[in-house]
Structure 1
């Protein structure tokens, strides 16, 4: 979300048709709540349009040339599927050349992985996506390169190479910290020397204290923006200087990390001022907040993801609005109001949502309803809309997308990896679910259509509505012009929710404007919701 400031926002809300509590001052409304939760008229207002992004592992998505490996032309071929789904942006996991299947160890920052195609194919994808109103961001891995990168090979083999200072290389007996930030000793031996690679020996860390490295990385970002990319997802963002467990949480390391990302943002701004940058800062909101100060537009909301999945699995109100309001206060102060939240359920580093929910389609629909009625830029991991399962190791959570209802699939089906967790494409596949009006895919399309049709659901901020039923989650979505109440029944039983205090007296009877199920009804302020149902009320 982007904050607009409490005072101005509250004044606008109180002065618009449909204000929450006409005639009461904002301070009185805040003070009236014993829990410390803000009322809908005392929240910051977000007029920044949100966009739903879809994360794609290109290798697993769609194969355009019959080699079993997904490619960029395959993504282009399926842009209409994504458009019909309702997403407004895609995030491509690494597309640069790499010796690894996943691509997070880059050997050429200016190239395209030959398995995926060519730079021309990437430009074609960008053009076709933009024709459909779909933005494209790409993974940019700047903390480290591949050990096969020409820079690193030169640095190791030639002590006089200009690339020597681009990495952290020490004598084997040098006394250096050995407590790696992600576990183990991050130093890897090479003859009489050793080099730093926090994640593993195949990913040597770049030295961002070297001005030539900083300049080169900014040139790389500018290059891809010139090709038409709309922004970047920044991998391992807090590890630029966060190499050791003993120092990663110090103010000095955090400040150096932030300064680099601010420099990067400033460096690419001349190429595309409005480039969208989202960082992977897998940490608490307190750690994330500083990165939103002239560095990132967004950071993934890992805390919210846990709460959403737990709420859906346990059929208990996750109290997400109260949590987000507190986080947004922190982010607003750090960013000066210039941030967008990025909620999600799972990604390529985590067990898949459907596995976390023990295969329950009802719970998966509920998790989707929670996610897609939140502010900001929600992210959907490819196959999540089908209910794909997957558990670590990583290959099993990045398995081929099932396009067809028959085993083995058909044209375009990727096959680079055996899928151990989704043996029933007759039930879990795009083809099967497109034919089923009650499928998880159908629910995702419904929810995404709501976001497209209702600006308050897409662009607004959030405010809590306390209703006392632990099986129900309810919150307002608010813009300057309007507000809407979102109500979820997380349980398998019918629930009745008293909404008589949700709207001010004299405004007129509230009405259901959208519902996931025909069984939802509203009469005399009493909302009845069928099991696992969601309703939007105004």
Structure 2
């Protein structure tokens, strides 16, 4: 490798500085299961004060927003069956604790979004208990079977639809403990909009919308029905209009499970974004196999589909995994190098990437669900003050990973996440760039272009355990021959040949005149 063109990751030279703007919010959101995060009162359960206490950690990581998994009263550990939408789960604290958290997060420049579960409630919710009476005003807030209802119907997810309550049957496509709400009922719609407005007035910045595509899409034969999708989208437009009356900047991101962007695209009209589950699958598969699974092409395709549906650029919501999925470090069989390149791909995608708590230190987890949502590891000792103990993971899940162990290790996964998130603060196209394909001719290399008003960059990742070389070519008159950032010291640029070390990543600036970055080789 030519000594004249080796760039060290932290180095900034006059040649690169012009492309690096002043620090801006990274756009990265951090998903928090409060129960598992940090315990301030010693009861073994995480609490809202624990999140407030750890805001400096999140600020150092570089995130610009947090998503709180449901914090409302609920009979379950996970909180996705809500009994009261205008209160705080007493295990997590009080309304005063919540308002203090929001105020502190905003002071640190972080937004707060809540998980809003409005497809269903708990079967202990007072609305549902009242609805069991056929004469109740709440009767039509839920679906109750009539004499001619097919009780053996299959849900859009393949499970059971109807559940018995005495001599009656009610709909619950996720669980008998979670009866579905009936959005054909105007009074219910008004109440859900009112609840959304209630929390906005208490300072939240938006919502993650649980099961966003199932509100009116209930049955197996409706899975890909555009009529059902249109009905869901019409409700979300009504919801958006209601929230905008309180805060026109409300951020809405929807959980829309689908493998095709064309089925997801209608939702990005009323919503700001939907989680990019198809991309997550490609990212993890590419990192695991060491071969590009068409990431660049899929990125361009997604942006085109969404622009066609909305008429404007849409900020994507990419991720690697979340609370419903096996943790990505488990998918990658504990391979730290592959985890680092998976993180690098995620955090060089445009939009608002989501990081699941503990992902940044390499926590593992698999089904059943509680083991995907296990206690955050802050300290080397799992019994140190602040560690949550509500769930004791099995012995095989005890791992030598923690914030304490990784904090001061420059080669740790934690510090790789910090590095990558901070890249986004200074390189604007990484946050909101329009994607373009960049052919590498090598399945072990994946690359894509990102262009916005600030300029154009090329992102390249080596998915393999060997050094790979990429002969750079111009696209649309732009040449990418100035290194801005690299994750590996021995990344080299010799003329138009980029050498990427094993599992290395690089960002290069595009210009009409090639300008090489010269820096001293450092082993």
Answer yes or no: is the 8 Å Cα contact 1:390–1:421 preserved in 2: no
Q: How does 1:35-114 map onto structure 2 within 5 Å?
A: 51-114=27-90
2:147 & 2:101 partners in 1: Cα distance? 46
Change (3 A) 1:326 1:423: closer
How many residues get paired? 486
Name the structure 2 match of 1:116. 92
Distance 1:422 1:90 in 2: 30
What is the TM-score with the length of structure 2 in the denominator? 0.90
Residue of structure 2 aligned with 1:439, choices 412, 430, 438: 412
Q: Which residue of 2 aligns with 1:134?
A: 110
Residue 313 of structure 1 corresponds to which residue in structure 2? 288
After superposition, the Cα gap between the structure-2 partners of 1:496 and 1:249, relative to the gap in structure 1 and judged at 3 Å, is closer
Alpha-carbon distance in 1 for matches of 2:322, 2:163: 29
| 1:137-168: CA deviation from partner (whole Å, max 9, x where unpaired) | 01000111100001111111x33221111111
Equivalence for 1:206: 181
- What SS does structure 2 have at the residue aligned with 1:385? helix
Q: Pick closer, same or farther for the CA change 1:174–1:491 going to 2, 3 Å.
A: closer
Q: CA deviation at 1:473?
A: 1.0
> 2:416 matched to 1:451?
no
Superposed displacement of residue 119, structure 1: 1.1
Residue in 2 that maps onto 1:477: 450
Cα distance change on mapping 1:422 and 1:520 into 2, 3 Å: farther
Give the Cα–Cα distance (whole angstroms) in 2 for the partners of residues 296 and 465 of structure 1: 30
Does structure 2 conserve the Cα–Cα contact (< 8 Å) formed by 1:241 and 1:248?
Answer: no
1:329 and 1:464 map into 2 onto residues whose CA distance is: 12
1:45 aligned residue: none
Distance 1:521 1:267, change over 3 A: same
Distance in 1 of aligned mates of 2:396 and 2:348: 28
Gaps of 5+ in 2: 1-15, 17-23, 510-523
Partner of 1:4: none
Cα pair distance change 1:50/1:244, threshold 3 Å: farther
Note if contact 2:365-2:397 (Cα within 8 Å) is conserved in structure 1.
no
* 1:388–1:133 distance in 2 versus 1, CA, 3 Å: same
CA distance, structure 2, for counterparts of residue 244 and residue 253 of structure 1 = 10
The equivalent residue for 1:494 is: 467
Residues 172, 193 of structure 1: 8 Å contact kept: no
**TM-score of the superposed pair, with normalisation by structure 1:** 0.87
Q: Distance in 1 between matches of 2:394 and 2:64?
A: 31
Contact 2:151/2:161, CA 8 A, preserved across alignment: no
After superposition, the C-alpha distances for 1:492-536 in whole angstroms (9 at most, x for unaligned) are 00111111446848x7x9221211111011121111111111111
2:201 aligns to what SS in structure 1? helix
Deviation at 1:173, TM superposition (A): 6.5
Displacement of 1:265 in angstroms is 0.6
Distance 2:84 2:126 in 1: 8
Verify: 1:418 aligned to 2:389, yes or no: no
* CA–CA distance in structure 1, aligned partners of residues 388 and 448 of structure 2: 41
Given that 2:464 and 2:502 are in contact with CA atoms closer than 8 Å, whether structure 1 keeps it comes out as: yes
Deviation of the 1:254 alpha carbon: 1.5
SS at match of 1:227: coil
Distance 2:323 2:454 in 1: 38
1:532 aligns with 2:506: no
Structure 1 pair 184–465 and aligned structure 2 pair: CA distance change class (3 A): closer
Runs of 4+ in structure 1 off by over 3 angstroms are 171-177, 421-425, 500-505
Q: Is 321-330 or 123-132 further displaced after alignment?
A: 321-330
Q: Distance in 2 between matches of 1:185 and 1:444?
A: 41
Q: Distance in 1 between matches of 2:506 and 2:222?
A: 48
Contact 1:177 1:244 in 2 (8 A): no
> Is the alpha carbon distance of 1:423 and 1:245 closer, same or farther for their aligned partners in structure 2, counting shifts above 3 Å?
closer
Q: Is structure 2 residue 123 aligned with structure 1 residue 147?
A: yes
Deviates more, 1:480-489 or 1:114-123: 480-489
Q: What SS does the aligned partner of 1:483 have?
A: strand
With a CA cutoff of 8 Å and minimum separation of 6, indicate the structure with the bigger relative contact order: 2
Q: Which aligned pairs between 1:319-468 and structure 2 lie closer than 5 A?
A: 319-406=294-381, 408-420=382-394, 423-425=397-399, 427-468=400-441
User: Which deviates more, 309-318 or 371-380?
Assistant: 309-318
CA deviation string 1:413-469 (max 9, x = no partner): 0010012377555x3101001121111111101101111121122222221111211
Instruction: Tell me if structure 2 keeps the 8 A contact 1:500–1:526.
Output: no
Cα deviation 1:116-150 (Å, max 9, x = unaligned):
11111111111000001111101000111100001
Q: Distance in 2 between matches of 1:348 and 1:146?
A: 19
Local SS of the residue matching 1:69: coil
Quickly say closer, same or farther: Cα 1:483–1:199, change in 2 above 3 A. same
